[in-house]
Every structure is written in C-alpha cells, then in structure tokens.
Structure 1
Amino acid sequence: MAGKAASIGDYRALAKARLPHFLFEYLDGGSYDEVTLRRNVADLQSIALKQRVLRDVSSLDTSAELFGKRWALPVGLGPVGLSGLYSRRGEVQAARAAAAAGVPFALSTLSACSIGEVAAAEPGFWFQLYIVKDRGFVADMIARAKDAECGALLLTVDLAAPGTRYRDYRAGLSGSLGGTHRLAQVLRRPEWAWDVALRGRPLTMGNLEPVVGSNAALSDLMGWVARNFDASITWKDVEWVRSRWDGPLVIKGILDPDDARSAVASGADGIVVSNHGGRQLDGALSSARALPAIADAVAGRIAVLADGGVRSGLDVVRMLALGADFVLMGRGWAYALAARGEAGVAHVLKLIAAEMRVAMALTACTSIGEIDEKILERGGNQATF
C-alpha cells in the first residue's frame, strides 16, 4: 500500500502499523468473542441498494439539518475514548478536521485532551457524558460543557457494567501484564513514541485528571472506570441531567423500541441507536438490525442517530435508508487519526462525501431527505430487516 489510503480499511492497516499494539487493540476490538462487532459491519454491508438510472442527478445536496444547524453531511465523528493518544493532541486535530468539513465532532469523557483544551482550539463540539457514582463530578462535567458552549450533550447509557474485552487483556492494557509489557510495545513504534509520547506531553486523562491525577497510567484509568461507572442509573437520572442541561440532549446506547419511547418521554432531543461499537453486550443486535423498529417507534418525535459498523459513505446511505436522520462514525475516523492525524481525518470525510454522492446518484436521490426505505432491495440473498 506504500502509505497510500483509498478507504477506511486502508487507514485501519496504517493505524495498526503505527500504533503500539495495546492501543490498536483497544481501538479495534470489541467485547468477548466480538460477535456483535462483526455483525455491525456484516449486517450493514449485506443491505442491497436499489439501482435506478436515467434520472437527473446532476445536482446533489448532501447537507442535513440537525439541532437547528445545517451540516455539510449527515455524518458526525462519534466519541472515541483515548483518541488523543492516537496522534499528538489527537482530539484537537479531529475537532479541527470536523469543523473544516462542516460536520460535528463529539469529545469523549475518556479523552486525553480536556474540554477546555479542545474548546480553545475549536469551539462548538459535542460532548459525550457518562453518569458515574459521584454526581458532583457529573454536575461539574455538565457545567464545563455548558461553559465551553458545546453544541450537544451525548449521554451514554449502556455502560452499567463494562464489557470484558479479551484483546485488552491479552495486549496488556488491562489485567496482569502491566506497564513493562506496554513499554516494550511503545519502543517498537518509535514514530508514535516521538510524536505522541514525547512531543504530545502532557499525557493526562484530560477530563478525568481531577479524579485520577495528572500522572495516572492507563491501567489506573481502566480501574477507575470499573469502580466508578454506576449500575444504579435509571431514567430518573436522565431527567436529572436534563434539568441541568438546556441544549440538545441525546441518549446514546438505545437498541430497543421501548427504550426509545422512554427517551422521548424523558425530554431528550435525540437518541443514538448503538451497541457501543460491539464493546459491551456481545450477542446484541447490530445497530442496522435494531434501527428500523426504533425509527418507527420514535415516529419523528425526536432525532434518530445511529452508529456501529460504518466503514464507507455507502454505509451512511444504508443507515439513512433504514431510518436514521444522522450517522455517527467511530473507528473510521480514529483509524485515520492514528495513521495521519488531522489530514487523515479530513481525507476520510472527503471519502465519505464522495462515496455518498455515488450512492445517491445511482439510487436517484438528489437530497438527503429522499433517502428512505424505497432505495432498499428487499429479499434476495440479503438479510431481512
């Protein structure tokens, strides 16, 4: 490949060659046997699009409106933990690439760069929040997101218990292998070590620094997550967040129509149909399979976003046809960030846009609003959705 990338798959290969093994496995892996991780990709790619010809598609509009703003694409960079370690001050680079492309960027709670650092470089991003046992910490995070004028709050609700990720254990990010094992992997990636570990200092846990300290190791972060994520949260806690946040509130981690209806009742402005990228309940439905019934249940009352398995602009069009209003991409942009920093993320977004335009032209859709179930082929060899 000689360093060239024409697809997200190419960027995955470049990321694998550049990142220390434990970081690549954290990014690339899922929980347990990774059944849901594979389903996310395979089920989405199994959906056949209905080709139509001899329609005037000389003028295509890929823009979409969400939360009162028009975006260049119906695509956002979803929250990815530790992405600031994939390239030097990585979350700042990704936020800049997203802003330049006219799409939203969502900063993870588990970021290397803090809310303040990203806001100073590129304001207006979205912030992804977890509810932990210390409600004072949660309230402080909401306040910091408000002070930074974040455009939306993504409340992730599918982490009542962290999924076991075998790859993290085997690679030394968790378990007994420890820091010596990780150091050996870093030494095998001198380019990354120079760019991130040395020039990218200070290496802290960004938003979690007040609770884990400025010198916390990755193993400390994993331990904090296991000890502090709250298994007792209910829809009452969503209402508590709603009372403290007056901007768009999006509930991330919905896979069931009844939960989608509860999200509407809670006062949320949107949901993300998501199984956490196959990193939580292994064996759960793929996002593509769950999406149509959830979109029907919501019936346009709030925005429906979706993530999971998106590896191309074709996949974005498939998600929209299944009922999503907007699509979030996670690993796709993170691979590109790891491979080439801001330039890689910018290139992936250009690829997504170009692939979307081809799919729209050959399904006779000239705007995002025309993409619906009518462009899907039913039956044949593909899975029934």
Structure 2
Amino acid sequence: MSTTPAQCLSIADLQRQARRYLPRVIYDYLEGGADDEEALARNERRLRTHLLRPRYLVDISSRSQQVTVFGKTYGSPFGIGPMGMLGMVRHQGDLLLAETAHRNGLPFVLSGASNATTEAIAEKAPGAWLQYYPCKDAKIEADLLRRAAASGIETLVVTVDVPLHAKRERNMRSGWVRPYKPTPAVILESLRHPAWVARYLRNGLPVMENVLPYAPAGIGARDLTSFYASQVPTPHRWSLVERLRQQWTGHLVLKGILSAEDAQHAATLGVDGVIVSNHGGRQLDRGVAAIDALPEVVAAVGKRMVVMFDSGIRRGSDIAVALCLGARLCFVGRAAGYGLAAHGAAGAQRAVEILRAELDLTLGQIGCPNAADLARDFLWEERGHPPEPADIRVPPREVAADVQ
C-alpha cells in the first residue's frame, strides 16, 4: 500500500515504510543491533521510563527550540548523527541527509564509513561535522584530518566505542557479511522490493569514496569495504586523544562516552564535548542504556564541556527528556534513516518535521516555551516518584499493520 510522507504521522510509520521498501538484508543492517539486541530495546525502554511533570498556566503562545553549541545557533536541539553505508539505503543517502539537516538548520555528522566524500558534504552542507573512526595507518589519519580542515570542517567527532567488530547476529543471518556478495536467498528476497532493486541496478554498488584515495589502485566497491575493515576498528588509547587534540585545531568531540571517569579524563585533555552514546545498541549488548549514563556525565563535566546524547530517540518527547537530564544537543540515527529509506529526501524531511513538531507540542504541554529552559524539575522521577518498570509499556518495534 502506497503512503505519502505526509501520511506518516510518527517515526514508527516511517519505519514500517522503510521495511517495505528495503530488502531484508539492507533493512536489517539499518535496524539491527548486537547479539540479542537487548541494548537496542533497552535504549528505547529506558527513555520511556522518564515521565514529564507539566507546569500549567504558563504563557506558551511563543515557543523556541533554538540552541547554541560551539558558537553556532541551530533551529532545534537535535541533529542527524553518523550512519555508515547510507548509499545502500538510498542513492547518495549521505548527501540527501546532509542537505536535509542544512535546510532545517540542524547539525549533520558525516559518518567515517560514508559513501560521500568530506569535500562533497562540506560543499552541500556548510557547517557539517565529521566522524572519525581511529584507523591503523597514521598516514590515512593525517590526510583525513588535513582534508577535513581544508574543507572547512570545524567539528571532529571521534567515535571511541568501537575497539572491536561487534557480533551482529541479525546481520549475519540476513547476509550482511563481507565481502557483501549476495547469496541466491538474498537475491530472491530482494526481488520482493522492486523499487529498491531498480535503483540498485541503475546506480550500482555504492563506493566508500572517502577512503578510496588510500586503497590500492583499481579497487572495486566490494573490495573497498574489506580494505576499510582492515583499517577500522583498531584498539586505541588515551594517547590517541592527546595526539588528535594537538593536531586538530577545531572542536574535538568524543562519541561513545558512558562514564563520568572517561568524561572527566576527556576534559583534562582539552576535549570540547562528548556524546553520551552506546552506538545505538550496535556494539555491547550488555551495555548500559545511554540515557541512564547521561546524568552522571552531566554532573561530572556539564560545566566544563558540551554534553550531547544519542541512542534510542524515536519521539520528540525523548529529546525533551534528554535535555531535562542535561544534554545540550541530541542526535538521531535510525529515525532519519527510516525516513530516507521510505521516501528519500522527502522522507528525511518528514522525519525532521515529525520530531520537531512533537518536541514543540511537548514544550507547550509541559509549560516550557523555551527548550533551553528544560531541566530536571520537569521530570516526575526527580520528585521521588519513579514509575515501576512493569508499568512501562513499550510498543513492539515492528508493527505489521499498514499505515492508513
């Protein structure tokens, strides 16, 4: 059943449309987590245990979501975080999301495993941020940073929570394994998604263009992913942060921080910000929910650096909760990815509109007309009445019913 972007009322609606459009192997890559995917579900569940405490009889006739981070004012306190291999979801997926974020006055972080180059993103979306996965070859690192600075990138986001490849069983079962050569079963299932197949046949396997200059001459798109995997991940230490702080003159952010101790150490090394994140549940299945780690990180370094948040956001009210707990800025991944998959650029725009509208409604409903004023006083848990876990009902992640 065909559904327009405007008919999608929630991120869950876009998710259902994404699942219809994408072959299972690609959808599972976008959606999946590590091991039993408990961390993936925990991120969403723990966000929803935080209830909001409204204040009424407040003038909410004018509401603002603006937030200023690293000297730049954004239209809303959320942006689009890094997602790798978006070219498999939609042709030129990185560019489409970057343009969407830029058009809406939101930050965009280009993935270290992107299909677009840093230069192309910087041209289409000035002010974009760049994610960096530490790699084994120091020469590659140095050149990636040189290119980023030359392109006008001001914020480098170093992802530190991928020291090893995770065990992503859903991906293994559906066929997302290097060298990404589809099996007959994968091909047969993909034929049930003719629109995606048609685009794939027209555009071919997307190339990881950002790392192409460092690979052997003449390498194909499929083998290039294996070359990238030979460089990333690599175990790294705090000496990496010290080195990057010396080399990178712009804003330096660590993504994947989940403890006060690590946040404090980052602050002593001159890091400008941290993103409290568990990689969307894609790395350590027994890891703490990112929202549960946020308060201690804020308490430890909230006055010394910019504390941001990602992992599990599906509603505008989730963003409000994270801001109440001290985050200055949030990032969404899958939520934007669903929109991109479902309807391309129009779907990405619809995802932003949904989250922005839900956050605006939440601000009005709780009597906080300015998102910058969200604080722990707006959380019911802070009044000594936390909800019982058994009382929290989280809807199934995937619902089969058609969007009406």
Fold agreement, TM-score > 0.5? yes
Deviates most, 149-158 or 208-217: 208-217
Distance (Å, rounded) in 2 between the aligned partners of 1:226 and 1:194: 28
Distance (Å, rounded) in 1 between the aligned partners of 2:94 and 2:173: 26
Residue by residue over 1:66-115, the C-alpha shift from the partner in whole angstroms, topping out at 9 and shown as x without a partner, is 01000000101000111122112111111111111100111101111121
Is 1:189 the counterpart of 2:193? The answer is: yes
Distance (Å, rounded) in 1 between the aligned partners of 2:341 and 2:93: 8
Instruction: Tell me the equivalent position of 2:323.
Output: 320
Specify the SS of the correspondent of 2:287. Answer: coil
Select the residue among 369, 387, 395 that pairs with 1:381. Answer: 387
- Residue 381 of structure 1, CA deviation: 2.0
Instruction: Tell me the equivalent position of 1:119.
Output: 122
Distance (Å, rounded) in 2 between the aligned partners of 1:57 and 1:93: 34
Is 1:88 the counterpart of 2:91? The answer is: yes
Checking the alignment, whether the CA contact within 8 Å between 1:124 and 1:148 is kept in structure 2 is no
Distance (Å, rounded) in 1 between the aligned partners of 2:167 and 2:149: 33
Deviates most, 374-383 or 308-317: 374-383
Select the residue among 68, 71, 78 that pairs with 1:68. Answer: 71
Is 1:17 the counterpart of 2:20? The answer is: yes
Specify the SS of the correspondent of 2:283. Answer: coil
Unaligned runs of 5+ in 2: 390-404
Alpha carbons of structure 1 residues 172 and 201: separation in structure 2 relative to 1, 3 Å? closer
Is 1:167 the counterpart of 2:170? The answer is: yes
Residue by residue over 1:204-261, the C-alpha shift from the partner in whole angstroms, topping out at 9 and shown as x without a partner, is 112122345665455762x445532354411111111122211111100100110000
Residue by residue over 1:182-217, the C-alpha shift from the partner in whole angstroms, topping out at 9 and shown as x without a partner, is 44344332211223x244357211212234566545
Specify the SS of the correspondent of 2:158. Answer: strand
Specify the SS of the correspondent of 1:179. Answer: coil
Alignment-mate amino acid for residue 305 of structure 2: I
Alignment-mate amino acid for residue 256 of structure 2: G
Deviates most, 82-91 or 281-290: 82-91
Checking the alignment, whether the CA contact within 8 Å between 1:18 and 1:339 is kept in structure 2 is yes
Is 1:200 the counterpart of 2:203? The answer is: yes
Alpha carbons of structure 1 residues 64 and 137: separation in structure 2 relative to 1, 3 Å? same
Specify the SS of the correspondent of 1:328. Answer: strand
Instruction: Tell me the equivalent position of 1:144.
Output: 147
Alignment-mate amino acid for residue 252 of structure 1: K
Alignment-mate amino acid for residue 194 of structure 1: A
Residue by residue over 1:314-347, the C-alpha shift from the partner in whole angstroms, topping out at 9 and shown as x without a partner, is 1000110111010010100011001111111111
Distance (Å, rounded) in 2 between the aligned partners of 1:298 and 1:169: 39
Alpha carbons of structure 1 residues 280 and 219: separation in structure 2 relative to 1, 3 Å? farther
Specify the SS of the correspondent of 2:210. Answer: helix
Distance (Å, rounded) in 1 between the aligned partners of 2:179 and 2:246: 42
Deviates most, 170-179 or 106-115: 170-179
Instruction: Tell me the equivalent position of 1:154.
Output: 157
Q: So what's the TM-score if we normalise by structure 2?
A: 0.90
Instruction: Tell me the equivalent position of 1:106.
Output: 109
Distance (Å, rounded) in 2 between the aligned partners of 1:44 and 1:160: 26
Unaligned runs of 5+ in 1: none
Alpha carbons of structure 1 residues 2 and 191: separation in structure 2 relative to 1, 3 Å? closer
Checking the alignment, whether the CA contact within 8 Å between 2:302 and 2:326 is kept in structure 1 is no
Specify the SS of the correspondent of 2:29. Answer: helix
Select the residue among 257, 264, 269 that pairs with 1:266. Answer: 269
Checking the alignment, whether the CA contact within 8 Å between 1:111 and 1:205 is kept in structure 2 is yes
Deviates most, 362-371 or 301-310: 362-371
Instruction: Tell me the equivalent position of 1:246.
Output: 249
Distance (Å, rounded) in 1 between the aligned partners of 2:354 and 2:205: 33
Is 1:97 the counterpart of 2:100? The answer is: yes
Specify the SS of the correspondent of 1:268. Answer: coil
Alignment-mate amino acid for residue 106 of structure 1: V
Specify the SS of the correspondent of 1:282. Answer: coil
Select the residue among 5, 9, 13 that pairs with 2:8. Answer: 5
Is 1:335 the counterpart of 2:338? The answer is: yes
Instruction: Tell me the equivalent position of 1:362.
Output: 365
Alpha carbons of structure 1 residues 167 and 175: separation in structure 2 relative to 1, 3 Å? farther
